[in-house]
Amino acid sequence: MHTIRIFYDRNLENRFPNQVCDRLPWAQRNLERFEPSFIQETSTIENCDFVVCPIFWGEPQNKNQEIEELAIQAKHKHKRVIVFVLADPIGPLNVDTDNLVVFRTSLKKTEQRQCEFILPAFPDEGLLKYGTPFSPIAKADVPIVGFCGYVDNNAETKNPLKRLIKTYAYQHLLSNIRLDRILKALGVHLTRHEGRRIRTQAIHLLSHSLQLQTNFIIRQSYHGGIFNKGIMHPDPQMKESSQKDFCTNVLGSHYTLACRGGGNFSFRMYEALALGRIPVFINTDCAMPCEEWVDWKEYCVWVEERELTQLPQKLLAFHNSMSAKEFIEKQYACRKFWEDWLSPHGYFQQFHRYLRQLL
């Protein structure tokens, strides 16, 4: 089998002088996870199959001069450049070259472009300590479905009347799926934020089911307020407390609601699998990592967006299809699935599979 050769410019500071320092070691750290029998590093660009961009791209809707210069240089050598995009936007990258191989966290499956692949969202390493050693939760007759997170149902606009009307719509009308769909068909949008729509409706449905127990912590700010305009709060105890509450919620529930947020992917889904719990995943035209080789429906309660009104019934059917022993085994399988395919180590061990599709 052909060994894939990659070139990675380790002269990072000179090539990318304007990048935030924590973006620089990201690719370098993950390069070390490549399976050496399948992927090897070369010392010159001429001898490689792919060039690896040494930073991740956090704002793909904006131009990045350094990445574009690297892509142009590689194109002159007839090489393609692997770029990692960790961001919510789903549109085309703002770049004027056509030789990028893009691994991104967010896109729509029906709009997936050639040479685009899904990159998992990797949970914070601090989260994993709460699930170590791994301990499954016993099956119960009434399943507990958990959610700990932000549901943005307060409008942000300077006009006080518009703010009042929008907030009322978010909090009192949006949960009505039938009304929302009728209004959308008429061209009236209660919200254009799809994450707000799906989360509000899913939480409403589960909360009103008499056959389920909910374990919901609805936060009033993103990540429990530890981020403000993308900047983390300086108090480490605030992050620790937020993370502990989240993990306690996941580990204390049989299932975790996992639906999209600002991007068309669920960070929470990867976190639930990492902690060995079963996600309840709402598919909003999502592309999934490793879906060519793994059946995702084996590891989560899979609900299409068009089936959202059936969410409680689908969860119950999934739960009731397993014996107590099988339920325990399913949690171990979820944890192993994450370790083998979705963790940083597992994903980059399997990385050669994606690249071979392009050779």
Structure tokens at 34: 């490549």
Per-residue pLDDT of 147-193, as tens digits, reads 999 887 777 778 888 888 888 888 889 999 999 999 999 999 989 88
324-337 vs 267-274: helix crossing angle, rounded to 10 = 110
**Residue-range domain boundaries for the chain:** 4-121, 125-152+193-342
The pLDDT score that the predictor gives to residue 25 is 60
Yes or no: say if 89 and 263 are a contact pair by the CB < 8 Å rule.
Answer: yes
The pLDDT score that the predictor gives to residue 131 is 84
Residue 218: helix, strand or coil by DSSP?
strand
Q: CA torsion angle for 303, 305, 311, 314 (degrees, to 10)?
A: -30
Cα distance between residue 149 and residue 163, in whole Å: 23
Other beta carbons within 10 angstroms of residue 187's beta carbon come to: 6
In degrees rounded to 5, what are phi and psi of residue 330? -65, -40
CATH of span 125-152+193-342: 3.40.50.2000
The pLDDT score that the predictor gives to residue 200 is 95
pTM of the model: 0.92
From residue 46, alpha-carbon distances to 6, 7, 70, 75 in Å are 10, 9, 14, 11
- Residues in the chain predicted with pLDDT less than 70, given as ranges, are 12-28, 222-234
